[in-house]
Chain A
Amino acid sequence: MRSAMLLFLLFSVLAGAMDLDLSVSVGPDYASGGWGDNLSNGILGRIDVCWKITPSFRAGAGMEASVFGSRYDTDASLSMMMPHVSAGYYLRPGATVFNPGIEVAGGLARTSLRSGGGADPASWDPFWRAGIRWDFSIGAGFRGAAGFDYSGIVAESKSGDTFGLVFTVSREVSL
């Protein structure tokens, strides 16, 4: 009980000094490598909460989901759920038009395949992601960003790599 109270106090102190960046990203996702031969291009969605440790540097956590359908008229689909931690570094924080940056992330990916009315056992594997961003203001306190990510799911025997375009809308909140 005392430990929980200490944790709560620590979080409260930290939160008091926090500038958080809440972001939502979407974009197309492309399989890289033979694993996507029978699958269509995918779509990804991502929610992140990042703490702006300095104006340029941020770190946080989030959840990403990706879905790939069948390339042909079959009913195959592959879905990925990826809880992750992330970090980003931006060169011109607060710039209205051009604030380039890089983002990296790592976490676990749960991949599941469904096809023909069946489903393969889901696999949990570590994954990494790296990408570049062009961040800009879109007014009313919101910021937008566009960029691309390359990510790899480090699965057994063969990795599942993807290339994704990312479009992000974010808003900074202070706690």
Chain B
Amino acid sequence: MRTLSAILAAAAVLLAAGCERNPLFFRLSADYYPVTSIGSMWEYAVEGGGSEIVTVIDQTVAGERTCYRVQSGADYDYWINESGRLEHYEDHRVIFNGYEIPLFQSWVTYLEWPLAVGSTRTDSVSSETVTQGVTIQHQWRRITTVQSITSTPDGAYGDCYLVHQDERTIDWIQTSGFFPETTVVSRNIWLAPDVGMVRKQTADSLLTLTEYTPGS
């Protein structure tokens, strides 16, 4: 009888260990980047002082596609969230001889839905532009990895996907006196269900969401 009890207890422990619950259906139905509601506003505290306000302004056309325009300070970003993909309009430019030279403009997938831990995607671009008789070579690569499901460090938001991005840009103005200029940025982004980005951390900056107002 004692042996049977021990076996049943061991089986119960094993079953309990292997039968963990998690809100998978909640995550599946949540919008982790709600940039398609005009009027949505996110206010972030910037580490070291100040704040940054991000607002979905309106719908417009960029790169021959209808999209949502998002204002962040004086900058605009363009997003499309449809057909299982979040796409971002990449607008890469460089300053040369006092002029802003466009290097690459196109829609690039930012995330694919649904997110899952361990999923990864690599997006890259290689282009050449000739301006003022000079060739400018542009290489860009972004590796995006969903690292885990977690809460924000302050515990304010749960069931977040922690997304890590490594982005490398090499611009080479191929004339004397210029060498390839490489920029590398690594960032961790916490995406909360039905809120979006609640925290973004790079080597030299930290944004933390302080207020979110959903749009209509």
Contact = CB atoms under 8 A, between A and B. Distances in A.
A155 B146 contact: no
Interface in A121-151: 121-125
B116 interface: yes
A155 B26 contact: yes
A44 B182 CA distance: 52
Contacts of A74: 84-85, 112-113
A114 interface: yes
Contacts of A125: 21
Scoring A76, A108, A110, A114 by chain B CB atoms within 10 A of each residue's CB, the highest score goes to A76
A131 B14 CA distance: 33
Interface residues of B, number: 29
B19 A156 contact: no
A115 B24 contact: no
B149 A157 contact: no
Contact of B29 (A33, A114, A153): A33
Contacts of A108: 19
Contact of A160 (B21, B25, B113): B25
Interface string B142-163: 0000100100000000010000
Nearest to A113: B116
A16 interface: no
Given A34-B28, A118-B117, 16 more contacts: A35-B28, A35-B29, A36-B28, A38-B113, A76-B112, A76-B116, A115-B113, A117-B118, A117-B120, A118-B118, A119-B118, A120-B149, A122-B24, A123-B24, A124-B18, A160-B25
Closest 5 A/B residue pairs (Cβ):
A116-B119, A118-B118, A118-B119, A72-B84, A34-B29
Interface of B: 4, 18-29, 83-85, 112-121, 146, 149, 159
Interface of A: 3, 33-39, 70-74, 76, 78, 108, 110-111, 113-125, 153, 155-160
